[in-house]
């Protein structure tokens, strides 16, 4: 059923202006209490050469489900930033199946003292599980506020509810991200999978998670926001 809802959302997305589009991350099973070493979601010690850390807090789309660790978009951003001469580390704090509540529980762990930029890409699993939109708003607001209280620059990536709950719910869900972006004055990526969703050539067989080529397009979409935030915080 999840695949059917995803396909409906993708077909509808093609006729809507990109600025209004957001897509949901898939629920891929229960989130582990702590990811094993060497996997997506693992925090490693900041390398001696790294002066600043960027952390990507998200679900399976961030974790890179089905991809090699180096193919997930956080690793691609890390390589691109280093190639551009920035002294920085990008940490993948994505956990498959995570909700906004799970992200809030993990945010203090993710925000170690070296973190200066945080990508927040959560909410799709809230939608798939039918969790209250008001709870999602509170969780995301708390994540952003906690990061900003530590002088961390936030980049918010929007998600989209599946259409089976009706247009009013879909609109309310989408409005959460728009409202939070304005309220907290954060950089906003309204459609994390622009140019990827619904394209079989850019997705894995499940039709939900980007393949390696799709992950590269996600990294390209995030790059201007991430590079701008890092440029303001990291020496070259």
Mean per-residue pLDDT pooled into runs of 10, the chain (236 residues): 43 38 39 40 45 95 97 98 95 97 97 96 91 97 98 94 88 96 97 87 94 98 97 78
Is 42 part of any domain? Answer: no
For residue 12, give the CATH number of its domain: 3.40.50.1110
> Closest Cα partner for 54 from 234, 180, 209, 215?
234
Whole-prediction pTM value? 0.81
Chain mean position to CA 76: 14
Contacts of 170 (CB under 8 A, 6+ apart): 160, 161, 163
CB 54 within 8 A of CB 91: yes
Is 35 part of any domain? Answer: no
Is 119 part of any domain? Answer: yes
Check residue 20 and give its pLDDT: 33
Expressed as residue numbers, the domain containing 68 is 2-26+47-233
Is 32 part of any domain? Answer: no
Check residue 162 and give its pLDDT: 81
CB 24 within 8 A of CB 124: yes
Is 111 part of any domain? Answer: yes
Catalytic, 206? Answer yes
Of residues 59, 60, 78, 96, which has the active-site annotation?
60
Per DSSP, the chain holds a count of helices (H) and strands (E) of 8, 5
Check residue 165 and give its pLDDT: 86
Q: Report the alpha-carbon distance of residue 111 to residue 154 in Å, rounded.
A: 12
Is 38 part of any domain? Answer: no
Is 31 part of any domain? Answer: no
> Closest Cα partner for 61 from 23, 34, 33?
23
Distance in Å from the first CA to the final CA of the chain:
48
Report the domain count for the chain: 1
Of residues 28, 96, 98, 209, which has the active-site annotation?
209
Q: Report the alpha-carbon distance of residue 147 to residue 185 in Å, rounded.
A: 13
Question: How deeply is 159 buried, as exposed, middle or buried, from its count of CB atoms within 10 A (0-12, 13-18, 19+)?
Answer: buried
Is 40 part of any domain? Answer: no
Catalytic, 60? Answer yes
> Closest Cα partner for 23 from 151, 156, 174, 145?
174
């Amino acid at each position: 059923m999840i695949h059917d809802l995803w396909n409906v959302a993708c077909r509808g997305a093609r006729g809507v202006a990109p600025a209004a589009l957001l897509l949901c991350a898939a629920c891929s099973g229960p989130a582990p209490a702590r990811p094993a070493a060497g996997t997506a979601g693992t925090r490693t010690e900041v390398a001696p050469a790294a002066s600043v850390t960027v952390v990507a807090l998200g679900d399976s789309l961030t974790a890179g489900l089905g991809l090699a660790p180096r193919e997930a978009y956080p690793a691609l951003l890390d390589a691109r930033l280093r190639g551009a001469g920035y002294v920085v580390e990008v940490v993948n704090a994505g956990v498959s199946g995570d909700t906004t509540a799970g992200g809030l529980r993990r945010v203090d762990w993710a925000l170690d003292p070296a973190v200066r930029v945080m990508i927040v890409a959560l909410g799709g699993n809230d939608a798939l599980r039918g969790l209250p939109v008001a709870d999602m708003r509170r969780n995301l607001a708390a994540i952003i506020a906690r990061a900003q209280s530590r002088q961390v620059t936030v980049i918010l990536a929007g998600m989209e509810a599946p259409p089976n709950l009706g247009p009013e719910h879909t609109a309310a869900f989408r409005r959460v991200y728009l409202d939070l972006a304005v309220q907290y004055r954060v950089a906003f990526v309204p459609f994390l999978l622009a140019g990827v969703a619904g394209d079989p050539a850019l997705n894995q067989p499940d039709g939900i998670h980007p393949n390696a080529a799709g992950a590269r397009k996600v990294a390209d979409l995030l790059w201007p926001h991430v590079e701008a935030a890092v440029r303001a915080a990291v020496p070259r």
